[in-house]
Chain A
Amino acid sequence: EDKVVQSPLSLVVHEGDTVTLNCSYEVTNFRSLLWYKQEKKAPTFLFMLTSSGIEKKSGRLSSILDKKELFSILNITATQTGDSAVYLCDPLGIGNKLVFGAGTILRVKS
Chain B
Amino acid sequence: SAVISQKPSRDICQRGTSLTIQCQVDSQVTMMFWYRQQPGQSLTLIATANQGSEATYESGFVIDKFPISRPNLTFSTLTVSNMSPEDSSIYLCSALIPPGPAYEQYFGPGTRLTVT
**The one of B48, B92, B104 that contacts A95, using a Cβ cutoff of 8 Å:** B48
Q: CB distance B109 to A42 under 8 Å?
A: yes
Task: Return chain B residues, CB-CB under 8 Å to A48.
Answer: 102-104
Contact indicator B112/A45 (Cβ below 8 Å): no
* A43/B104 in contact, CB under 8 A: no
User: Cβ of A32: which chain B residues have Cβ within 8 Å of it?
Assistant: 102-103
Q: Are B92 and A34 in contact (CB under 8 A)?
A: no
Q: Is the CB of A45 within 8 A of B102?
A: no
Q: Answer yes or no: A25 CB below 8 A from chain B CBs.
A: no
Q: Judging by beta carbons under 8 Å apart, are A88 and B103 in contact?
A: no
The answer to whether A41 and B112 touch (CB under 8 A), given A96-B96, A100-B43, A103-B42, is yes
Q: Say what secondary structure dominates the interface of chain B.
A: strand
Q: In whole angstroms, how far apart are the Cα atoms of A101 and B102 in the complex? A: 20
A43 touches B31 (CB 8 A): no
Q: A residues 74-101 with Cβ under 8 Å of B?
A: 86, 88, 90, 92, 95-98, 100-101
Contact string against A for B residues 76-107, beta-carbon threshold 8 Å, 1 for contact and 0 otherwise: 00000000000000101000100000111111
Residues in chain A near residue B112, CB distance under 8 A: 41
CB distance from B98 to the nearest CB of A (A): 9
Q: Which of A2-36 contact B (CB under 8 A)?
A: 31-32, 34, 36
Contact between A92 and B107 (Cβ–Cβ < 8 Å)?
Answer: no
Chain B residues in 8 Å Cβ range of A62: none
Distance from A44 Cβ to chain B, minimum over Cβ atoms (Å)? 8
Question: Could you list 11 A-B pairs, sorted by A, with CB under 8 Å?
Answer: A31-B102, A32-B103, A36-B107, A41-B90, A41-B92, A41-B112, A42-B107, A45-B104, A45-B105, A92-B102, A98-B105
